Amino acid sequence: MFLQAQNLTLQYPGKQLCRNLSLTVKPGECWAILGQNGCGKTTLIHALGGLHPVGNGNESSVMVAGKPPQTWSRRQLARKLGVMLQEEPGEFWGSVYEYVLLGRYPHVKNMFGWNAVDRDMALQAIEQMELTSLAHRPLITLSGGERQRARIALLLTQSPVCYLLDEPLQHLDLRHQLLAMTLFSALARQGSALVVMVLHDISWASRFCDHVLMLFDNGQAISGSTEETLNQSNLEALYQCNIKEIVVNHGRHFVPETMPGV
């Protein structure tokens, strides 16, 4: 059991985000977190990554590889957890290649810096995210979507066991959404990594994720296999709108119907 949350309670002043949430995620699994804006998806990613305190005293806990994340050193934790937040503070003034290479920092073993393996992993990730032609461009000159792809490349270069991703598809065009989802789901399918990602597009969750966690606006949550959990009834309760299920070539798609009074 690599990533565990036990009786997790998260709240903002005046609002409870989740209550007594228990979750176990193992290598080989790809999870989607779904829910309306403001329901606590980002806060949950922060809590699982050790960036947000958990509530309820000793009754609540988050464990990474059997230990609370705060008990690992920063570099040790970064070898195990890779976290992509919605926003990245500050600006990086170097090239795309130099930025992506920073993902190897937790793995550097000597004072002489990067070795051939580090450089090869950075170049491979840049190629995977179709950034080769931009590798020597200053990061700050990239578009929002290109910069998001660089952020994903950095995370791939970091090569953690657990990927915690808060809206990894934001700013990406359709092709690169597909590319990112294919890469992350492949990491999980190979059995060496686990992926937990906040998504807004139900179709990507249905197609690429084998587990789903739904966070409701009242602090309740349900989780389970995608096949069992992702259904019309649960989605209508989650998003408070009418949902239609469409089956095409044995794949399930969920689309919102016209809202009442609109």
Structural contact between residues 3 and 162, judged by C-beta atoms closer than 8 angstroms: yes
Spatial separation of the C-alpha atoms in residues 7 and 250, rounded to whole Å:
37
Q: What is the pLDDT of residue 150?
A: 97
Structure confidence by residue, pLDDT tens digits, 222-255: 999 999 999 999 999 999 999 998 888 777 888 8
- The answer for residues whose C-beta is within 8 angstroms of residue 117's C-beta and 6 or more apart is none
Q: Which domains does the chain have, with CATH numbers?
A: 3-91+160-256 (3.40.50.300)
Q: Which of 56-65, 96-105, 147-156 has the lowest mean pLDDT?
A: 56-65
Q: What is the pLDDT of residue 261?
A: 62
Strand ranges in 167-241 using DSSP code E only, listed in sequence order: 194-198, 211-215, 221-225
- The answer for residues whose C-beta is within 8 angstroms of residue 143's C-beta and 6 or more apart is 171
Q: Structure pTM?
A: 0.93
Structure confidence by residue, pLDDT tens digits, 167-191: 999 999 999 999 999 999 999 999 8
* Alpha-carbon distances, residue 222 vs 31, 74, 214, 235, 247 (angstroms): 13, 32, 5, 11, 23
Structure confidence by residue, pLDDT tens digits, 39-93: 999 999 999 998 877 755 557 789 898 888 888 888 999 999 999 999 877 788 8
pLDDT (average), residues 107-122: 86
DSSP annotation string for 226-241: HHHH-SHHHHHHHHTS
Q: What is the pLDDT of residue 259?
A: 67
Structure tokens at 149: 């792809």
Residue matched to tokens 């606006």: 217
